Amino acid sequence: MTLKRPAIVPPEVWEQAPEPVRVVMHAMVEYYEQRIAKLEAEVRELTARLNQNSQNSSKPPSSDGPHVKRKPPKLPSGRKSGGQPEHPPHQRVLVPVDQVDTVIACKPDQCRRCGKPLTGSDPEPWRHQVVELPPIQSQVTEYQRHRLKCGSCGITTCGELPPGVLSSCYGPRLASVVALCTGGYRMSKRMVTSFCRAVLGIELSLGEISQIEQTVTNAVAPAVEEAAVYVQSCDLNIDETPWKERGKRRTLWTMVTTQLSVFTITTGRGVAVLRELVGEWYCGFLTSDRAKVYDSYALRKRQVCWSHLLRDFQAMIDRGGPGQVVGEALLEHARVVFAWWHWVRDGTWTRATF
């Protein structure tokens, strides 16, 4: 077997070396070439990790160090702040007169020039409407359940609450407002108790806030189940993130459609959980990140999140080397695609043209 001379060994040295020495030299050079290639690959990977930031990876902007260059601020346009002369005014739309609670006619008594008395009415008066909240006064309804004793057998019977009246001490509107504050507006329970006291004039304890939340949860459960079934028939934007519930690790799933969004907290984030959420025979399109759980669906039925793709293209540019040219081309094509999509969204293009 004839050994090939390594490129780093001079020809005269290779010719003068005995066969056993050539074998050793060839083996050593081959070993160190492989080792150097492996170390260079590790250095490239570690360098790429070190250079990761919010613009070329999924790291949040808060993790960026002072070395990360921010996008330069836009130069001042020279215009004054506020509405511009060519900008169309945005004014509150007047409520129709037949829907106004009170109409007060303001008529002048005399002419502002000569002082003579004025009479009549303006067929098209200048309308000025003032929107105000009525004084908030809680309504307390007391149901007195009488317990009466039978004169024949001596047993007592208590009166029942009317149909639709729950055994809780809170009406549906109050419960809805409290649940909206804690759920939709992300207010803490202490903030809700302060809001109810200051604005509604109702004293509620922290425990009562929790009871109201549970009551509303039970009330909307059928609608939530219906929404969970509905999203299984739609194209989905889906994502999951770590979550904590009572100190235990959970996963919060978000499934977004054009009509509604469904949030679900589960104990895991595996394929079995995903199939339970979207349905065993899901046939729509999934838009997601590259989490391994989504690899269970065919790539032709998936769309990788464009935010992740753009950061990947930028990472290719930042790493340099042969991939830099490819990353620049991909990023430019992505910008063109989004420019076209914006034309579709604002009506300049039809979807067929796009």
pLDDT score at 4: 82
22: Cβ–Cβ under 8 A, 6 or more apart, which residues?
Answer: 3, 14
271 in helix, strand or coil? helix
pLDDT score at 286: 93
Q: Which two tokens stand for residue 192?
A: 């809700």
Count Cβ atoms below 10 Å from residue 117 Cβ, excluding itself. Answer: 8
For the chain, give every domain's residue range: 1-43, 172-216, 234-304, 308-345
pLDDT, tens digit only, all 354 positions of the chain: 677 888 888 888 888 888 888 888 888 888 888 899 899 888 888 888 888 888 778 777 777 777 777 667 777 777 777 777 777 777 788 999 999 999 999 999 999 999 999 999 999 999 999 999 998 888 999 999 999 999 899 999 999 999 888 788 889 999 999 999 999 899 999 999 999 999 999 999 999 999 999 999 999 999 999 999 999 999 999 999 999 988 899 999 999 998 999 999 999 889 999 999 999 888 899 999 989 999 998 889 899 999 999 999 999 998 888 899 999 999 999 999 999 999 999 999 999 999
pLDDT score at 182: 94
pLDDT score at 253: 96
Helices (H), ranges, the chain = 11-16, 19-50, 172-179, 189-195, 206-230, 271-278, 306-319, 323-345
Give pTM, 2 decimals.
Answer: 0.64
Measure the CA–CA gap between 281 and 287, rounded to whole angstroms. Answer: 17
pLDDT score at 1: 61
- Provide the CB-side half-sphere exposure for 319 (13 A, CA): 24
User: How far lies 311's CA from each of 30, 70, 127, 132, 324, in Å?
Assistant: 37, 15, 53, 49, 13
Measure the CA–CA gap between 166 and 40, rounded to whole angstroms. Answer: 71
105 in helix, strand or coil? coil
Specify whether the backbone of 313 is left (phi greater than 0), alpha (psi in -120 to 50) or beta. alpha
Measure the CA–CA gap between 107 and 102, rounded to whole angstroms. Answer: 16
Please, what is the Cα angle at 93 between 89 and 97, to 5 degrees?
Answer: 145
Q: Which of 17, 19, 24, 21 is nearest to 2 (CA)?
A: 19
Residues forming a β-bridge with 156: 149
pLDDT score at 86: 72
